[in-house]
Amino acid sequence: MSTTFQIDTATSRATPTPAPMKRLTVPKVMQRKEDGTTQEPLVMLTAYTARQAQLLDPHCDMLLVGDSLGQVIYGLPSTLPVTLDMMCAHGAAVVRGSYHALVVVDMPFGSYEASPQQAFTSASRVLAQTGAAAIKIEGGHAMAETVRFLSQRGIPVMGHVGLTPQAVNALGGYMARGRNEAEHARIIADGNAIADAGAFAVVAEGVVEDIAITLTRSLSVPVIGIGASAHCDGQVLVTEDMLGMFERVPRFVKKYSDIAGMIDDTAARYASEVRARTFPGPEQVYRAKSD
């Protein structure tokens, strides 16, 4: 039985409601690539919780509720076990925690591949239950009919070509794509097919740089790179990778911080004070009121 998640503007106790602002819309994202070029690259990061969305929202044009949450949040070995229920729950949380960024939700494996009709049923549920603006699906030429079907029915679609994690078993791993001539041509054709079918943007993941550059120059819609090229119309990373939450990350990730180290240090200091009985201190305990 599916669960409906209430959509509202509530925030956590940590952050008050900000001044009203308009979200970036799908047409506005597309307009950023006027005359075939994007003057200011689009900034995109993943988000899975309301609080994470609150912190990232002021800095991002788009927030992606990625099916990478399967590995990052749930400790799963891949994205394949992620369910539509998971994506709806986390998508709704991210929408509640954001006010500016356009929120895109990944369609999980098995929720859209069977037919355009299956994809519409799944995607319409995601948008209705989360309040997100768009969905993202993986695949190239084979998914063009589905992209067209959804787009013609009012569901904005972000495409995803190159390294497609949901196809990891068929691809044989998470290695870079497009190193040989045949694969190079296929990825270019995939990107064009998805854009021509009506996708408002295309993610190019784990591809050799000249593929990313070719797609960026040839497609009329923004190309968002991840492990691609700085010449793309925008960039996306898994936030936890970028923050340094994990020791091992893909080659294309730059660690901008060492959050894992900070958490380890902070937890160690807390544990030390608990064992020494110096926490809680006088400031953290309650006293009876004096008469």
Sequence-separated (6 or more) residues with CB below 8 Å from residue 29:
42, 61, 62, 102, 200, 201, 222
Structure-derived torsion over alpha carbons of residues 167, 172, 175, 179, reported in degrees to the nearest 10: -100
Contact (Cβ atoms closer than 8 angstroms) between residue 202 and residue 29: no
Question: Is 145 labeled as catalytic in the residue annotation?
Answer: no
Pairing of strands 42-46, 102-106: unpaired
Sequence-separated (6 or more) residues with CB below 8 Å from residue 160:
136, 137, 138, 139, 202, 203, 205
Residue 68 among known ligand-binding residues: yes
List 34, 40, 205, 209, catalytic entry: 205
Partners of 44 in beta bridges? 62, 236
Identity of the residue numbered 150: L
Spatial separation of the C-alpha atoms in residues 142 and 160, rounded to whole Å = 12
Residue 136 among known ligand-binding residues: yes
Q: Collapsing DSSP states into helix, strand and coil, what is residue 177?
A: strand
What amino acid positions are annotated as catalytic residues? 205
Residue stretches of the annotated binding site for Mg(2+): 67, 106, 138
Residue stretches of the annotated binding site for 3-methyl-2-oxobutanoate: 67-68, 106, 136
Residue stretches of the annotated binding site: 67-68, 106, 136, 138
